A and B are shown apart, each in its own frame.
Chain A
Amino acid sequence: MQRRDWVYALETGLLIAVGGAAGANLRYAIGTVLPGLQGTLVANVTGSFLLGVLLYEALYTDLLAEKTRVVFGTGFLSSYTTYSTFAVESTTVPLWLGFLNVVGSYALGIVAVLAGRRLVVAFTETGGSTDG
C-alpha cells in the first residue's frame, strides 16, 4: 500500500466514524421517544427511503461526491437503521406481532427504497440534469 492509499483509508474510516456516531445517536433518540418496535420501524423505514435516494442518485444522476456517500450512506444511514434490534425485538413480543413486525418492516422498507428511487427519477426528469 502506498502512502496515499493509507491516507485514503484513514479518511474513509474517519468519515464512517462521524456518520456512525451520529446515526446511532439519532436512532437512540427516536427509541427514547418511541420505545420498542415502533421506534425501530420508524428509523428503518425513513433510513431505507434516504438510502434509496442516495444510492439511486449515484446510479442515475451521480452529482453527489463519493465522500458524501461514504459519510451519509455507509456511516450515517447504515448505523441509523438496524437489523439486530429489529430481529431481537421481533422475538420478545407475541408470535403474531413478531411475524407482523417482520412482514410489515420488510414491506415498508422495500416501498421506502422504491419511493426514494421515484424521487430521484422525478428529479432527473424535471431539470435535475447537469446540462443546465
Chain B
Amino acid sequence: MANPAYLVAVGGIIGALLRHLVSLAVERESFPTGTLTVNVLGSFVLGLLTALDPGTDLLLLVGTGACGAFTTFSSFSFNVVRLWEGGDPVKAAAYAVANIVGALAAIGLARVVASLL
C-alpha cells in the first residue's frame, strides 16, 4: 500500500482544483449553484466508489482525497447563512434541502449503476 498521506494529498489537490474550476463555470450571484453542483457530483462518485469497493489505495486517493476535497461542507453552511441574511429564508431552506436530496439521490443512482457494472 502506498503512503496514505501522499494518496490523500494528491487526491485533495485534484479535488480542490476541480471544485475551483466548477465554481468558476457555474457559480451565480443570486444562488450558490457551484457548491450545490460539486456536492451532488462528488456524492455520486463517492457512492459509486464505495459500492464498487476498489481497495484501500483507491478509496484514499479518490474517496477521502478527491471526493472529500471536491465537495465542501463549510462553503455550504456559509451559503445557507448568507441566503438567510439576504432576507430570503425560503431560498436558504430550499438550498439546504436541495443539497441533501440531490446528494442522496446521486448516491442511490450510483448504487444502481454499480450493481449493473
| A and B interact physically | yes
Chain A residues 68-126 with CB under 8 Å of chain B are 74-75, 77-88, 90-91, 102, 105-106, 109-110, 112-114, 117
Count of B residues near A, CB < 8 Å? 45
A79 touches B47 (CB 8 A): no
Chain B residues within an 8 Å CB radius of A13? 17, 20
Name the contact of A51 in the complex, choosing from B17, B46, B74, B80 (C-beta under 8 A): B74
Once the chains are docked, how many angstroms separate the CA of A31 from the CA of B63? 13
Chain A residues within an 8 Å CB radius of B96? 106
- The SS class assigned to the B binding surface is helix
Count of A residues near B, CB < 8 Å? 47
B interface footprint on A47-59 (CB within 8 Å = 1, 0 otherwise): 1101110010000
A-B pairs, top 7 by smallest CB distance, nearest first, are: A20-B16, A24-B12, A79-B69, A109-B77, A83-B71, A87-B103, A51-B74
Q: Could you tell me which B residues sit within 8 Å of A by CB distance?
A: 4-5, 8-13, 15-17, 19-20, 38-39, 42-43, 45-47, 50, 60, 63-65, 67-78, 80-81, 96, 99-100, 103-104, 107
Q: Could you tell me which A residues sit within 8 Å of B by CB distance?
A: 12-13, 16-17, 19-25, 27-28, 31, 43-44, 47-48, 50-52, 55, 74-75, 77-88, 90-91, 102, 105-106, 109-110, 112-114, 117
